[in-house]
Amino acid sequence: MGPLNALDAYLIPVIDGVAYGLLLFTLAAPLTLVFGAGGVLNLAHGSLYALGAYAAALISDGSWTSLALAAAAGTFAGAAGGGLLSAALMPVTGRGHLAQALLTFGVALVAGAALVLAFGPDNLRPTVPAGLDTTVSLAGHRYPAYRLAFIAIAAALAAGGWLVLARSRAGARLRAMVDDPHMLACLGTNPRTVLAAVLTVGGALAGLTGVLGAPIIGPGPGTADTVLLLSLVIVVVGGLGSVGGAVAAAVGVGQVQSLGVVLAPTWTPYLLFAAMALALLVRRQPLPTGGHA
């Protein structure tokens, strides 16, 4: 097989990887910002995605209206979940990273169990709108139209989020808080308000991603774990609080998840291991110093 043929054979997994990567990026970006802005590791983030995915499976029946309804419901549920989380975190503020992480871990367990109780232990298959439930020709291959549409929408979401972060006033405040939480406190913005806002908006984004991504990573008992794990890998590889790093890492992890499954299915977990180890070893870690000056 010539190199061109080889390239051709892997075209579909590569495009799948792009869809995966964009999905994971829209999940990992809020996770990294929640850490950067509030110092909180939100282990319930995957559950908010699962919430959105179940909303899609439940509401979307193949019509565009139902998809729009599902998107609204998923977004709202995600936002509500994020808001509830920030309220639940209030009493443990100042008790350290671990207490907060363990609390969100407990919330994730409860949410996961509740979702299984409500929707059963099977993986559900959401219905894609009829207009997108087809394939298109892509360099001689048939490719699901929905995935292409998802790539476009997720890219738009990511770009929109980036614009808000880079251009808007709120985005500037958020970036300032990621860079230097103390400085922002001096400017009169309450860090708790920012944390609650980031958790709520991040939750909404996760819920919406869940609705749109349901045909790609569908709702089931393992969904929350899977997307949380991949988002964590992305944040570790990309660097905490770094949105640019998350983009690069999400693209890489997306390819590992799709191309890797085709080329060396056994090795995908180890590739992710290796990527994390490499990122931790190569990047200089900001360890505590003795500088009390």
Partner 1 sequence: MSRSWRAVLRRGSGLPAPVWGLATTAALATAGCLADPYTLSTWTRILSLGLLALSVAVLAGTAGLPSLGQVAPYAVGAYTTAILARHGITAGPVQLAAAAAAAAVFCLPIGIAVSRTRGITFLMATLAVGELTAVAAGQWTTVTGGTDGLAGIPATQPWWGTAPILEDQAVYGYAVAVAVAVTAVLWWTLRTPAGLLLQGCRDDETRMRASGHPVARYLVAAYVGAGAIAGIGGALLVTGQRYVSPGDVGFEVSALVLLAVTIGGGRSLGGALAAVALVALVRDWAAATVPGRGPLLLGALFIAAVYVHPKGMVGLGRRRRQHPPVEVEVPSS
Partner 2 sequence: MTQTSRPQLSARGLTRRYGAFLAVDDVDLDLAAGDRHALIGPNGAGKSTLLNLLAGTIRPTAGQVVLAGRDITRLRPARRARLGIGRTFQTPAVLESLTALDNLVVAAWRHTGTHTAWRPARRRTLTARGLHRLDEVGLGDHAHTPARELSHGQRRLLEIAGALSADPAVLLLDEPAAGLAEHDLTLLLDALRRLPAQTAVLLVEHNQDVVTTLAHTVTVLHHGRVLATGTPHAIHTHPAVAEVYLGTPHGTG
- Residues at the contact surface with partner 2, assessed by CB under 8 A: 289-293
Q: Which residues contact 146 (CB under 8 A, 6 or more apart)?
A: 128, 129, 132, 133, 215
- Choice between 121 and 291, CB closer to partner 2: 291
227 touches 212 (CB < 8 A): no
User: Does the footprint of partner 1 cover residue 118 (CB under 8 A)?
Assistant: no
Q: Which among partner 2, partner 1, none contacts residue 96 (Cβ within 5 to 8 A by kind)? A: partner 1
Given the structure tokens 């169990």, which residue do they identify? Answer: 113
User: Does the footprint of partner 1 cover residue 284 (CB under 8 A)?
Assistant: yes
Beta bridge mates, 37: none
- Choice between 118 and 293, CB closer to partner 2: 293
Question: Cα–Cα distance between 263 and 95 in angstroms, integer?
Answer: 45
CB atoms within 10 A of CB 232: 18
Nearest approach in angstroms of CB 236 to partner 1 is 5
Site string for partner 1, 61-100 (x = CB under 8 A): ---------------------------x--xx--xxxxx-
210 touches 222 (CB < 8 A): no
- Choice between 214 and 253, CB closer to partner 1: 253
- Choice between 56 and 198, CB closer to partner 1: 198
Q: Which residues contact 38 (CB under 8 A, 6 or more apart)?
A: 191, 194, 195, 198, 199
Site string for partner 1, 137-166 (x = CB under 8 A): ------------------------------
